[in-house]
C-alpha cells in the first residue's frame, strides 16, 4: 500500500510540474514566467491573409504553417533537418514573427541559447549579440518586464565580454565573421585558404581578425537597445555609456566601410587591413534599417545595389573560385531571409518597387518549389540550390524557418506597417500597395491572449482613421492587447 501511495504521489508531482510548465510558471519559485497568459489551446488557429493576389495569400499561409511545423514542442527549430541551436536563427525568427505568433515558445527558445543561468548569451561568439535585438523586440511585443530584466543582465554581461575579447581598438570595430556566414564559402582569399579542408569559417585562421559590415551593424543596434534597456531599468549612467559607445561604433563603421564617393557600403576589412568591396546584402540592409547611414545616403546607396532575376544575392560578385555554374553557398545566391531584410530596408526609403518585387518573388519561389520555403535558391534559375563549398554542391534545407518568417515580416512590418510597444500596436500601412494588391483583411492574428481581425475599408491615399470594436480612435493611439476578439478597421481615404 505504501508503494502504491508513493507511486501516486510521484505521478501527482509530475502532473503539477508539467502543469506549471504549460501555464508558464516556474515550479521552483512559483513565480509567473510571463506577464502574458498561455494560449496553447488555440495556437494552431493560424492567421489568414485575404487579398486580390492568391499567391501572396497562399505563401502567407504556408509561411505560418512552416513556423508552427518547426516548433513541434517548445523550441523553434531552424528548419527541416536543423535543430534550434543557432542564436541567430532563434533571434531572427523571434524578431520576424514568432514573438507575436507564439510568445511562450519564443521566450523558451530565446532562453535556450543562453548560458550560466540566463546571464550570458551562448553559441557561436560572433552572433551572440544579435540576441539583444531579438530580446528587446520580444519585450516590445509582449510588455514582459520580468523577461526584459533578465535579458538586460544577459545582454550587458555578454557585451562586456565581447568588448574584452573581440573589439579591435585600432579600427574601433568588432572582429568576427559576418552574421550568418559560418561557411567559408562566404569569404574570399586570404580569409579562405585552400589548404584548410574545412567548411567552418573559424577553421581558417585568417577569419579571426576580420571586421564585417553586418556584424558591426548588429553590435551598433545592440548598444542602442542596451541604452533603452538601461533607461527602462533606471540605470542612467549605463544608458549614457551605451549611447556613447553606439556613436563611436557608428563612426567607425562609416569611416572604414562606407565609401561616400561611390555611395557604397563595403563587406569587410581583413586581417591585413585590406577592404573587401563586395556587396553584402544583409549588412547593407542593417546599415539602412539601423540608421548607420542617413536617409539621404540610403537613397543614393539603394539604386547602386546589384540584384538578380530572383532577388538580391547574399554577397556579390562571385569570389574567384565560384561562377554562375558553381555559385558559392554564401556568395552569389539567394537566401530568402536576407531578401526580406533587404525588402524591409528598401521599403523604409520609399523604394516600393524593390519591396514589391522581393515580396512576390519570395512567394513564387516557395510556391513553385513544392510549396516549401527552402533555405537557399539559385540566383540565375530560381531553382532550389544549396550552393558550392569545398568543391561540392550542398543541400538546401527544406522548411527553412527564417525563410518563412522573413516573408511574414514583410507582410506585418511593411504591408500593414505594424509597430509594437508595451503600450500596444499601431499601424502605418502602405496604402498604395494595399490598394494594388487588393488587400481585404488579416484575420485571426494572435496578440498575446487575444485575436485581432484587421479589415481594410475604403479607397484613397492615406490611413485616415482606425476603428477598434466599432469606436473610432486616432491612428497614433496604440491598440492595447485584450482577451478575446478585437475587431480593427483601417479606414483609407
| C-alpha cell of residue 81 | 533537418
Give the pLDDT score at 22: 32
Mean pLDDT of 30-42: 41
Mean pLDDT of 274-280: 98
| C-alpha cell of residue 472 | 473610432
For residue 45, what pLDDT band results from cuts at 50, 70 and 90?
Answer: confident
**CA-atom Rg of the chain in angstroms:** 23
Q: In sequence order, what are the beta bridge partners of 183?
A: 200
| C-alpha cell of residue 302 | 539603394
Mean pLDDT of 64-91: 96
pLDDT in tens, 290-341: 999 999 999 999 999 999 999 999 999 999 999 999 999 999 999 999 999 9
More confident residue, 370 or 14: 370
In whole angstroms, how far apart are CA 256 and each of 216, 264, 274, 293?
Answer: 11, 12, 10, 13
Beta-sheet pairing, 450-457 with 484-492: parallel
Of 7-21, 58-72, 135-149, 247-261, the range with the lowest mean pLDDT is 7-21
Give the pLDDT score at 65: 97
Query: Which pTM value belongs to this model?
Result: 0.92
Q: Is the dihedral of CA 190, 196, 197, 198 positive or negative?
A: negative
Instruction: Give me the half-sphere count of Cα atoms (radius 13 Å) on the Cβ side of residue 148.
Output: 22
Query: Which has the closest alpha carbon to 452: 409, 489, 410?
Result: 489
Distance CA 238, CA 234 (A): 9
Distance CA 151, CA 228 (A): 12
Whether residue 131 contacts residue 162, with contact meaning beta carbons closer than 8 Å, is answered with no
Whether residue 484 contacts residue 451, with contact meaning beta carbons closer than 8 Å, is answered with yes
Q: Per residue, what are the HEC states of the chain? A: CHHHHHHHHHHHHHHHHHHHHHCCEECCCCEECCCCCCCHHHCCCCCEEECCCHHHHHHHHHHHHHHHHCCCCCCCCCECCECCCCHHHHHHHHHHHHHHHCHHHHHHHHHHCEECCCCEECCCHHHCCHHHHHHHHHHHHHCCHHHHHHHHHHHHHHHHHHHHHHEECCCCEECECCCCCCEHHHCCCCCCCCCCCCCEHHHCHHHCCCEEHHHHHHHHHHHHHHHHHHHHCCCHHHHHHHHHHHHHHHHHHHHHHEECCCCEECCEECCCCCEECCEEHHHHHHHHHCCCCCHHHHHHHHHHCCCECCECCCEECCCCCCCCCCCECCCCCECHHHHHHHHHHHHHCCCHHHHHHHHHHHHHHHHCCCCCCCCCECCCCCCECCCEECCEECCCCCCCHHHHHHHHHHHHHHHCCEEEECCEEEECCCHHHHHHHCCCEEEEEEECCEEEEEEEECCCCCEEEEEECCEEECCCCCECCCCEEEEEEEEEC
Burial category of 427 from C-beta neighbours within 10 Å (exposed 0-12, middle 13-18, buried 19 and up): middle
Distance CA 477, CA 181 (A): 40
> String of b and e for 223-259 (b: at least 16 CB within 10 Å)?
bbbbbbbbebbebeebbeebbebbeebbebbeebbbe
Instruction: Reply yes or no on whether the pLDDT at 168 is more than 50.
Output: yes
Distance CA 465, CA 417 (A): 14
User: In the chain, pLDDT over 70 holds for what percent of residues?
Assistant: 91
Give the pLDDT score at 7: 36
Instruction: Reply yes or no on whether the pLDDT at 258 is more than 80.
Output: yes
pLDDT in tens, 153-164: 999 999 999 999
Whether residue 265 contacts residue 287, with contact meaning beta carbons closer than 8 Å, is answered with yes
| C-alpha cell of residue 246 | 553606439
Mean pLDDT of 241-250: 98
pLDDT in tens, 437-493: 999 999 999 999 999 999 999 989 999 999 999 999 999 999 999 999 999 999 999
**Angle at alpha carbon of residue 211, lines to 210 and 212, rounded to 5°:** 115
Distance CA 286, CA 46 (A): 30
pLDDT in tens, 200-224: 999 999 999 999 999 999 999 999 9
| C-alpha cell of residue 207 | 577569419
pLDDT in tens, 74-83: 999 999 999 9
Cβ partners under 8 Å of residue 73, min gap 6: none
Mean of per-residue pLDDT scores for the chain: 92
Amino acid at each position: 500500500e505504501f508503494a502504491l501511495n508513493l507511486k501516486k504521489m510521484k505521478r501527482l508531482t509530475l502532473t503539477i510540474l508539467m502543469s506549471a510548465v504549460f501555464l508558464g510558471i516556474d515550479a521552483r519559485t512559483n513565480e509567473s514566467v510571463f506577464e502574458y497568459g498561455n494560449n496553447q489551446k488555440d495556437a494552431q488557429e493560424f492567421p489568414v491573409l485575404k487579398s486580390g493576389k492568391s499567391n501572396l495569400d497562399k505563401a502567407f499561409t504556408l509561411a505560418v504553417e512552416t513556423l508552427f511545423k518547426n516548433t513541434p514542442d517548445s523550441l523553434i527549430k531552424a528548419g527541416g533537418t536543423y535543430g534550434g541551436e543557432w542564436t541567430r536563427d532563434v533571434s531572427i525568427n523571434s524578431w520576424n514573427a514568432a514573438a507575436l505568433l507564439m510568445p511562450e515558445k519564443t521566450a523558451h527558445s530565446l532562453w535556450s541559447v543562453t548560458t550560466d543561468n540566463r546571464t550570458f548569451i551562448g553559441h557561436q561568439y560572433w552572433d551572440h549579440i544579435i540576441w539583444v535585438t531579438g530580446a528587446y523586440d520580444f519585450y516590445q511585443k509582449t510588455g514582459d518586464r520580468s523577461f526584459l530584466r533578465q535579458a538586460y543582465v544577459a545582454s550587458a554581461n555578454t557585451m562586456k565580454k565581447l568588448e574584452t575579447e573581440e573589439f579591435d581598438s585600432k579600427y574601433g570595430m568588432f572582429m568576427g565573421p559576418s552574421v550568418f556566414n559560418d561557411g567559408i564559402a562566404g569569404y574570399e582569399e586570404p580569409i579562405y585558404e585552400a589548404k584548410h579542408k574545412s567548411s567552418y569559417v573559424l577553421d581558417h585562421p585568417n577569419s579571426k581578425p576580420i571586421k564585417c559590415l553586418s556584424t558591426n551593424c548588429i553590435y551598433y543596434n545592440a548598444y542602442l537597445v542596451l541604452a533603452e534597456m538601461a533607461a527602462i531599468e533606471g540605470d542612467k549612467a549605463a544608458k549614457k555609456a551605451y549611447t556613447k559607445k553606439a556613436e563611436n561604433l557608428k563612426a567607425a563603421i562609416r569611416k572604414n566601410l562606407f565609401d561616400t564617393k561611390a555611395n557604397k557600403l563595403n563587406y569587410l576589412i581583413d586581417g591585413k587591413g585590406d577592404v573587401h568591396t563586395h556587396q553584402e546584402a544583409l549588412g547593407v540592409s542593417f546599415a539602412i534599417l539601423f540608421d548607420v547611414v542617413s536617409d539621404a545616403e540610403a537613397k543614393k546607396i539603394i539604386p547602386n545595389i546589384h540584384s538578380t532575376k530572383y532577388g538580391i544575392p547574399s554577397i556579390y560578385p562571385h569570389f574567384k573560385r565560384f561562377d554562375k555554374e558553381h555559385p558559392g553557398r554564401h556568395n552569389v545566391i539567394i537566401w530568402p531571409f536576407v531578401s526580406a531584410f533587404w525588402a524591409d530596408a528598401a521599403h523604409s526609403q520609399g523604394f516600393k518597387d524593390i519591396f514589391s518585387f522581393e515580396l512576390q518573388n519570395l512567394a513564387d519561389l516557395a510556391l513553385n518549389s513544392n510549396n516549401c520555403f527552402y533555405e537557399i535558391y539559385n540566383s540565375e534559375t530560381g531553382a532550389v540550390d544549396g550552393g558550392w563549398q569545398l568543391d561540392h554542391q550542398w543541400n538546401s534545407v527544406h522548411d527553412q524557418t527564417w525563410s518563412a518568417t522573413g516573408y511574414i515580416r514583410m507582410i506585418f512590418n511593411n504591408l500593414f506597417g505594424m509597430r509594437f510597444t508595451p503600450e500596444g500596436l499601431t499601424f502605418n500601412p502602405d496604402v498604395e500597395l494595399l490598394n494594388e494588391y487588393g488587400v481585404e483583411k488579416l484575420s485571426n492574428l494572435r496578440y498575446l491572449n487575444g485575436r485581432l481581425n484587421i479589415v481594410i475599408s475604403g479607397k484613397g491615399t492615406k490611413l485616415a482613421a482606425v476603428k477598434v470594436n466599432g469606436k473610432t480612435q486616432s491612428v497614433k493611439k496604440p491598440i492595447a492587447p485584450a482577451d478575446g476578439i478585437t475587431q480593427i478597421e483601417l479606414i483609407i481615404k
